[in-house]
């Protein structure tokens, strides 16, 4: 009798195992999903209009120059732009003498080598140099920022979801977690245990609501614009985010022009092909 049932034992055990697994996956009650403050109270980027948006969009050089001024006077204290050279600034309207003066007067000198001793040294920057960062290396950057690493800003506008609007929203979005509300709901009432750890700052536009970067734009008029534009916090944020978009995609206008030329070519080619088709098959039966 055992010999008769022995070949069936292994398949039967396997079948029971599969049934138990299917029950665990399908039929068994699932645990409720975790309710997180970062999911309910995170805000999308503000609706900010930029001149370079859309297929016909173009950069506003005055805005880009203002944005560079905000980067120079505010952001460059912590953030580098190692992929942007000083001479690239000529593309946004700075003259060669202005670029030369900017490079020479930059707060951080360019790393170099002493030709006499071969030891590491620094020198005044040249227009051909990339914009030097504020720290010698990553270790120094972390040591100065509570172990947080300020990201390089060269490609930041393309690397972050939401692009320049996200950057502008983030730098103007700092708030008090104790009084913050969204859609009529209070953060502290919904999540009484929520807290902002020491060294971090509450910002609803940041993914987990707490960010290491302190508010970079503290008040209106923090920067005095050369063109007389009123430097509100939102204006400075919009200008610097537009400048970062140019830094990340300086050939955007060329791409727009190329795209329009290609579309025009395709429309003309389509019309010519259709005309040739009508001419060849005119009056002929299929």
**Binding-site residue ranges for heme c:** 75, 78-79, 213
Pick the closest to residue 168 from 43, 33, 37, 39 (CA basis). 43
**What span, in angstroms and rounded, lies between the C-alpha atoms of 131 and 76?**
10
Number of H helices, E strands in the chain: 10, 8
Q: How many CB atoms lie within 10 A of CB 229?
A: 15
Q: Write the DSSP symbol of residue 87.
A: G
What residues form the annotated binding site?
Answer: 75, 78-79, 213
Pick the closest to residue 170 from 142, 210, 134 (CA basis). 210
Listed in order, strand segments (DSSP E) in the chain are: 81-85, 110-113, 120-123, 130-131, 181-182, 185-186, 201-202, 210-211
């Amino acid at each position: 009798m055992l010999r008769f049932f022995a070949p069936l034992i292994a398949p039967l055990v396997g079948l029971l195992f599969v049934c138990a697994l299917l029950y665990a996956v399908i039929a068994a009650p699932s645990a409720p999903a975790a309710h997180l403050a970062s999911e309910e109270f995170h805000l999308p980027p503000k609706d900010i209009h930029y001149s370079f948006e859309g297929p016909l969009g173009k950069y506003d050089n005055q805005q880009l120059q203002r944005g560079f001024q905000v980067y120079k006077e505010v952001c460059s204290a912590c953030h580098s732009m190692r992929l942007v050279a000083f001479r690239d600034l000529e593309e946004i309207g700075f003259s060669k003498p202005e670029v030369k003066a900017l490079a020479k007067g930059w707060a951080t000198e360019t790393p170099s080598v002493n030709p006499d001793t071969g030891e590491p040294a620094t020198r005044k920057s040249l227009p051909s140099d990339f914009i030097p960062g504020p720290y010698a290396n990553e270790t120094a950057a972390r040591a100065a920022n509570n172990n947080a690493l300020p990201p390089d800003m060269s490609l930041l506008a393309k690397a972050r979801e939401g692009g320049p609007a996200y950057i502008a929203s983030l730098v103007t979005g700092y708030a008090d977690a104790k009084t913050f509300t969204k859609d009529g709901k209070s953060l502290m009432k919904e999540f009484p245990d929520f807290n902002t750890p020491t060294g971090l700052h509450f910002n609803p536009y940041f993914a987990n609501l707490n960010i290491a970067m302190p508010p970079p734009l503290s008040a209106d008029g923090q920067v005095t614009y050369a063109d007389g534009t009123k430097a509100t916090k939102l204006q400075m944020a919009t200008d610097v985010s537009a400048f970062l978009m140019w830094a990340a995609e300086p050939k955007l206008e060329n791409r727009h022009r190329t795209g329009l030329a290609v579309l025009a070519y395709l429309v003309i080619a389509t019309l010519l092909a259709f005309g040739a088709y009508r001419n060849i098959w005119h009056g002929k039966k299929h």
